[in-house]
Amino acid sequence: MTSGVLQISLDQPFQDQKPGTSGLRKSSRQFETPHYLESFIEAILRTVPGIAGGTLVVGGDGRYGNRRAIDVIARMAAAHGVARIITTTGGILSTPAASNLIRQHQATAGIILSASHNPGGPDGDFGVKVNGANGGPAPESLTDAIYACSKQLNGYRIWDAVTVPLDQPGQQQIGALQVQVIDGVDDYITLMQKLFDFDRISDLLRGDYPIAFDAMHAVTGPYAKRLLEGLLGAPAGSVRNGTPLEDFGGGHPDPNLTYAHELADLLLHGDGFRFGAACDGDGDRNMILGQRCFVNPSDSLAVLTANATLVPGYSEGLAGVARSMPTSAAADVVAQQLGIPCFETPTGWKFFGNLLDAGRITLCGEESFGTGSNHIREKDGLWAVLFWLNILASRREPVSQIMAEHWSRYGRHYYSRHDYEAIASDAAHGLYDRVKTMQPALVGQAFGGRSIATADDFAYTDPVDGSLTSGQGLRLLLDDGSRVVLRLSGTGTQGATLRVYLESYVPPSGNLAQDPQQALGALITAIDGLAEIKARTGMDRPTVIT
Ligand code: VG1
Ligand code: CO
């Protein structure tokens, strides 16, 4: 054995290291249980092909536990014959920037330390995401193999105590492993400069065009300051909460109307700003706001699709688009008019990877504030912000007008997601299983003034590799094209979270100016009656309404 390598035995392997929708997420306390983090890293290092002699990109969103995890990964990588680790100053690396670095450096894999939009700190959550050589989230075949490995581990290998100094760029050697610390922002900015018209956006922002970007004390602060206030000339202070903190300042770094309400209030109830945006903990989500206008994420994907040729990186048009199943069909209508394919995938970015790699799509998105393109293999919060700014700089119309014109051309998909967070696991599964059992008998029944045309559990056959993924959400498709979907979250760490997705289409000739909660009112009442949501969860109203 190489000197410096310790072999640590485990009395019992951990049985609960199953990655969810996006990586392994548990409480910080659980990750501090002796050997817990090390066990999962060992399972990764044993399972991912090409680790010995390979390159790993490692970094995170700066939450509590980030630096300790980088040390552990470096020491374990040294003990497994990894040739090189690329990490970043302060260990700060957004998920999209990590995806880019993996691709730029032709790394074997990446390990991203983040529980994304979940709160952080000693009492919050921690997470580990694994990405493959294409820069995207590991497919289920790989995460299943990592999980299987973790359940049988009897020990792990780690280099004796070393600390990786992360305060400035530099190099260090741990045995045969080279650890490179680079600036985690530089390469990402270079990539953005290739895609967007910085001069045009800068013209807009240097004029009378106040914007507010909320980094939620999470990873995008340093990126947004360099991009928006530095290169693009937005006034100092345009980036709010721009310093990453280990506990995100006690907040919940989830850019939606509930958890980013300070920003939402500024835009929706005031006239001081023309454009507002926020990103989540690890920088892959985005929320877009205009003056007195909220852009729902499904609509955002449709607007980007319809306006893509205004942006230099997409001026030649799109090969196709994709959206996750619960995302509204707003992008489908645009794709149809453009004559390009539109794919419907299960929830989670990993399902876009094959379509992107095969060149079948250029843009993709999810209703959960995720949008992205073939520039990397993750959703990308600041990319979406720049895309919107580029459109605004070209069209010189308010966000609300862009939305109104979009709906008057393509019709409007009234859409909302209701989340019931941290409910008792038994109650959630009871409710879900009951609806699933009822499904076959629901076809033909009345529902919210319509009738149920199809009731099923969504399954997906990947058009590129033929793999089948089932059990992806209970759908009620109604005879007028409306639909309601129920899903249980795969990212929460407390109890269960029930998500109810509601959608109803109104053509250009219909009433395009309704409040979504009212437009969807009959569906909301009907699903509560059918699924007994209030009675079974004991909650009067959802925790979060988008
Ligand atoms: C949620 C979203 C999903 C997203 C996933 C990861 O998953 O619904 O669309 O891909 O989070 O996003 P779930 O299983 O809780 O519904 V992130 O920004 O947390 O990596
Ligand atoms: Co995220």
The CA distance from 167 to 182, in Å, is 10
Q: Please identify which residue in the block is written with the tokens 């949008």.
A: 371
Q: Please identify which residue in the block is written with the tokens 């069909």.
A: 329
Q: Which ligand is closest in space to the CA of residue 486? A: 1
Q: Residue 124 Cα, ligand 1 centroid: separation in angstroms?
A: 17
Q: Which ligand is closest in space to the CA of residue 347? A: 1
Q: Which ligand is closest in space to the CA of residue 216? A: 2
- Quick: pLDDT tens for 89-146: 999 999 999 999 999 999 999 999 999 999 999 999 999 999 999 999 998 889 999 9
Q: Residue 56 Cα, ligand 1 centroid: separation in angstroms?
A: 24
Q: Which atom of ligand 1 is nearest to the CA of 114?
A: 20
Measured from the CB, is residue 366 less than 6 Å from ligand 1?
Answer: yes
The CA distance from 54 to 457, in Å, is 40
Q: Which atom of ligand 1 is nearest to the CA of 281?
A: 18
The CA distance from 317 to 308, in Å, is 7
Query: Would you place residue 3 in the very low, low, confident or very high pLDDT band (cuts 50, 70, 90)?
Result: low
Q: Kindly state the DSSP code that residue 245 receives in the 8-state scheme.
A: -
- Quick: pLDDT tens for 496-535: 999 999 999 999 999 999 999 999 999 999 999 999 999 9
Q: Whose CA is nearest to atom 6 of ligand 1?
A: 22
Measured from the CB, is residue 347 less than 6 Å from ligand 1?
Answer: yes
| Chain center to CA of 478 | 29
Q: Residue 21 Cα, ligand 1 centroid: separation in angstroms?
A: 6
Please tell me the number of Cα atoms within 13 Å of 86 on its side-chain side. Answer: 23
- Quick: pLDDT tens for 301-326: 999 999 999 999 999 999 999 999 99
Question: Is residue 230's pLDDT more than 70?
Answer: yes
- Quick: pLDDT tens for 421-466: 989 999 999 999 999 999 999 999 999 999 999 999 999 999 999 9
Those residues whose C-beta lies under 8 Å from the C-beta of residue 482, and which sit 6 or more positions away, are 448, 450, 503, 504, 505, 523
Q: Which atom of ligand 1 is nearest to the CA of 21?
A: 14
Query: Would you place residue 1 in the very low, low, confident or very high pLDDT band (cuts 50, 70, 90)?
Result: very low
Q: What is the DSSP string of 461-496?
A: E-TTT--EE----EEEEETTS-EEEEEE-SS--SSE
* Residue of 366, 368, 378, 383 to test ligand 1 pocket, by largest number of atoms within 8 Å of CB: 368
- Quick: pLDDT tens for 335-361: 999 999 999 999 999 999 999 999 999
Q: What is the pTM of this model?
A: 0.93
Catalytic residues: 116
